[in-house]
Structure 1
């Protein structure tokens, strides 16, 4: 019962400046400000690129927002359905430039700032664009640790607790603010690995956009020390405890743009699949349903806990690709993401860790241990993978286009992908089709295929 393979889709990186003021809330992906702007940009870009490229275009993904001279820099990825019909980067940039000149376009774009690179196409055939594809790169990182002058509580060891989330958001926002101001476009984001006792020890990772312009560790530490001496800084930091190490930089090629968007990145991964001893319901095929979100949170928390304990700082996070039907049970397709390809465990160790945890009464998931499979690692450095098992190949996802008529009246709201009418009908159709095709084809079908097909 192999897990769904690690896949990539052809992408074009898109970056541009919005003519609006940057606020620190935009560095926090869980803030209302980030979500609102992300939705606005996504809807606007989906509209113009769907009109321009039709069925070849799939969707927009917002990687983040950055500070640049007071303005907002958007780092976006345009995802397409087929590498053989990809537009080139100059066409993508020109499409946004043209749209921005219209009074009907909802975004206020600085057209001189528009950059596009790629496409990144993972098929074995060479890219058809006249521009070189942006290489798949690991994101350069600097490890940062420090103590907060506050009491430690046991809830801070639980990444799903309100206490963990609140402190993580506070620390992330504070660090994103000072490092964006210090390093500008070179800085990407902060990732909180966890909190430890003594008072509260913060283990964080600072992620940068370009390995050739990385600051050194001492500069990173000094920046936090200086910020901590200001009464305006929101964190109470024990400055004598600040440590920084790195950078970890795996890229060798220079950037090709004067204002590059955050590069297309890959992280080393191990694919993990297993069955849960619980009944499958059709709601689990719908990623926006409460049932999907609840089970995804439960599985993510459980896996993060056991693999953080097993592999420590080498482990980063769990990503749930989807849930599938198999003989009435729930099949979990997950990806374990690690921080460093040189210290990756092999697949058999990953599988054994889950098997051992599942035998404990304290483990929250009811796993069919005979169903556990792991493959990889998929490591994007040029050195060969260290596992004795071959990595799951990076592949384009095979698709079948399906069209049909519904016996109901059409309304103009259905042309607007952000409307409640479109979302409701899309969810209904997606759930119905996922159910019948999962039952018919089982593991052959990706549970999230509805995201790949134009509706």
Structure 2
């Protein structure tokens, strides 16, 4: 029995990855007679964000996408119908298979590779299914890339380590590089292998100096058909046991940063003298003192919901001003709450041997010493200094001595004003 088959394209959008949305155009068969197929009704009931395109028959040219929607490079165009000439026939009931062509558009000007597209579709269908339809995974293809021809999947991880940077880390043959490489890879690789088992290439790890601390970047490649959301990997890394202290809010997986709220706060420690080494984040003195301050503040927030960690990114003179960062999970607290907690905890911090003064500042708090008073003090100090310099110069030139002699009664250079004739004034 010959059956006239028409094809209706159903647009299905599903998010996959951080910056693009895959738009899949599914094709359903409709015919005259007793053809058993799901049809548009099933598609609209089971799939989210469904809309229908104009009905067209096999061989008809595809409708051009809406204005502003770019074609996938090498994909369908007006000159290239979506139905290749050699394709299994669906004109008889004995061959009910359906071939689906997809026109894929991307948001935010992203341009994923064909391997990314195949992995995305493969992973989504494998995890979530495609309604009650059975998909032949081997048939998934984007241009010439199939599941068997996928390029290795690249996973990039980077973060900031609060250890002092040493220049041996830039030389891959140095003992400092090898030791740090083994330490980091021994931590991150087992985390990634929970999701990707087959490593196609050993990790590439690079280090750079970030104002005295170590910025680490790791690049892995895996032979896999799956793609895992970067957020899942980020959460697993954050929950794992770390071999050193790193700044958690600097963690990025595939350029997607971990999400934290960061609250800055400054403390002035007055019972310690500032030394030049404390301004160098790579020095032992900075590391020891900053960790002491961070630990003292951390005890104030240990039982607070959403609290993660305290960092001290900077120490400056006066006596020692500690710039701190208190981090929380997003939306779990406010800046004013953090500042109030620290002010109320001054006695607990001082119990650790760090003596504070009550004018310590935090973001959102107001110092009891007004800024205009500082300006007045500076101005008066400069004026007094200038006056002292002028007096010193006058003294050095002998002006004061000559002036004293001029006004002395014993001086022979005095002026006799009695001989002066003054003009008469009439009254």
Q: Is the structural similarity TM-score above 0.5? A: no
- Report the TM-score, using the length of structure 1 for normalisation: 0.30
Mark the structure with the bigger radius of gyration. Answer: 2
- Report the TM-score, using the length of structure 2 for normalisation: 0.31
- Choose between structure 1 and 2 for higher RCO, CA contacts under 8 A separated by at least 6 residues: 1
Structure number having the greater helix percentage: 1
Structure number having the greater strand percentage: 1
